[in-house]
């Protein structure tokens, strides 16, 4: 399991508190949504295969047929706002990739909002 913070220009993830901020506003994620996002973010910049996601987030083996991953991806994208579509890319036939925005400026109020 991941700990600490992830942050890029538009997005902050607090692994310890299951909380997320996007562009100045708090985003409420459910447990599975957060776990999925965390899995993607912890490999930010590279493709995470569907099989890995299904295994690590759901514990599903590769033979299980389900659309729940796709549905969760969609809800994540929506909750991430206008950047969601661009930030979570689909690698057709392979998996998904969380694309960090260049730079990693962290507005101070993010840090203040997140107690250690």
Partner DNA sequence: CTCGTTTTTCACAAAATTTTTACAATCTTC
Partner DNA sequence: GAAGATTGTAAAAATTTTGTGAAAAACGAG
Task: Tell me which residues touch DNA (CB under 7 A).
Answer: 28, 30-33, 50, 58, 66-68, 70-74, 77, 90, 92-95
Q: Name the residue nearer to DNA (CB basis): 45 or 93.
A: 93
88 contacts 73 by C-beta, under 8 angstroms: yes
- Using rule CB under 8 A, residue 116 touches its own copies: yes
Tell the residue number behind the tokens 């036939």, with chain if given: 93
Nearest to 89 by CA among 76, 107, 102: 76
Which member of 64, 94, 105, 111 binds its own copies (CB under 8 A)? Answer: 94
Phi first, then psi: give them for residue 20, nearest 5 degrees. Answer: -140, 145
CA distance 66 to 45: 25
Q: Which does 116 bind (CB under 5 to 8 A by kind): its own copies, DNA, none?
A: its own copies
- Using rule CB under 8 A, residue 17 touches its own copies: yes
């Amino acid at each position: 399991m991941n700990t600490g913070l992830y942050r890029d220009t538009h997005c902050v993830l607090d692994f310890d508190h299951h909380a997320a901020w996007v562009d100045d506003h708090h985003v409420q994620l459910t447990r599975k949504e957060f776990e999925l996002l965390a899995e993607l973010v912890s490999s930010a910049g590279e493709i995470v295969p569907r099989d890995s996601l299904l295994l690590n987030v759901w514990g599903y083996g590769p033979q299980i047929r389900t659309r729940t991953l796709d549905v969760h991806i969609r809800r994540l994208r929506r909750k991430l706002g206008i950047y969601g579509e661009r930030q979570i890319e689909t690698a057709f036939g392979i998996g998904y990739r969380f694309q960090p925005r260049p730079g990693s400026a962290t507005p101070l109020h993010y840090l203040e909002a997140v107690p250690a």
